[in-house]
Amino acid sequence: MTSPYALGATIYCPATHHDLYAIASGQKFPNCRSVVICLEDAVAESDIESGLKNLSKVLTIFAQFGLPQEAPYLFIRPRHLAMAQHLVEWKNIEVLNGFVLPKFCLADLAGWKNTITDRLQVMPTLETLEFFDPGYIQEFRQAMQQEMPSVLALRIGGNDLLNCLKMRRPRHLTIYETPVLTLINQLIGQLTPFGFRLTAPVFEYFSDLALLRQEVERDVLLGLVGKTAIHPSQIDVIHEAFQVSQHDYLDAERILQQDAKAVFGSNGSMLEPATHKQWAMQIIERAKYYGVQPEHNYILRNG
């Protein structure tokens, strides 16, 4: 199964976009690792038919000539379950990697499960009012473990969650300085320990790359595995922020060595494989897809 870290910064592209083929094939943004072709909020009701036609045309080209080697992972975000049930009947649909499931909730779980084939991966989006109830999150987790355990990732829909609070993210603040922080912490605490990986919300102010960098650093600290990008200028900033420090990488390697001591020191800190193994495995996985930060004059001190 695809690692969610492989997705990198995920660009959402309206299905109506005139450059849809160039974006989906990787020609337009070669640094983009995953694209979601959107038929939901990014497409007006009056433009749905033209979006579907544009999407069908692109999928036909891919089916005839194959996906270019540089093509990103490709997903569709349908408008709703009924549209997804229509799309899975298309003969070329399995050119894609999968679906992003919009406004996903327990009421639709059975419908989605019966619609999406096993070959297509899914990323449900958590962006509705129900998730503000901690009891609902627990019920959601238990149902997902039983009915849909191998989702690629769960996507946190920050703007929709703020909308539930009748708010918009302030221009000068990260998402973690809004009331949605409490919910994000609850989602992480109730879902991550049980094997679900979560991606970070979009940062909509694409002109402020410095603040974006601050937010992505917090995303990484919380163990989120990727981030939605609203603009191509954000891609490299997100990827660089997800790089692993040399200090963490070397510590992770030492923790995972078969002959590692039960407790040992490294760079002035204590390492304990029994309690740090999961962290170390995640560091190595992240480095595989994002790389290790170049750091000059790095000195490793063993304790």
Tell me the per-residue pLDDT of 29-76, one tens digit each, with 9 for 90 and over: 999 999 999 999 889 999 999 999 999 999 999 999 999 988 999 999
Task: Please report, for the chain, the start and end positions of each structural domain, with discontinuous segments joined by +.
Answer: 4-241, 246-290
Residue 296 — pLDDT band, cuts 50, 70, 90?
low
Q: How confident is the model at residue 303 (pLDDT cuts 50, 70, 90)?
A: very low
Segment 123-152 mean pLDDT: 96
Residue 51 near residue 18, CB atoms below 8 Å: no
Q: How far apart are the first and last CA of the chain?
A: 38
| Residue environment code for 55-64, b if the CB has 16+ CB neighbours within 10 A, otherwise e | beebbebbee
pLDDT of residue 192: 97
Structure tokens given for 176: 């973690």
Do 112 and 122 meet the contact criterion of CB atoms below 8 Å apart?
Answer: yes
Q: What is the CATH code for 4-241?
A: 3.20.20.60
Mean pLDDT of 269-279: 84
Q: What is the largest CA-CA distance in the chain?
A: 65
Across the range 133-141, mean pLDDT stands at 98
Pick 274 or 89 by higher pLDDT.
89
Q: Is position 160 annotated in a ligand binding site?
A: yes
Q: pLDDT tens digits, residue range 198-222?
A: 999 999 999 999 999 999 999 999 9
Measured CA to CA, the distance from residue 206 to residue 209 in angstroms comes to 7
Confidence of residue 301 (pLDDT cuts 50, 70, 90): very low
pLDDT tens digits, 106-130? 999 999 999 998 899 999 999 999 9
Higher pLDDT among residues 290 and 274, named by residue? 290
CA atoms within 13 A on the CB side of 22: 5
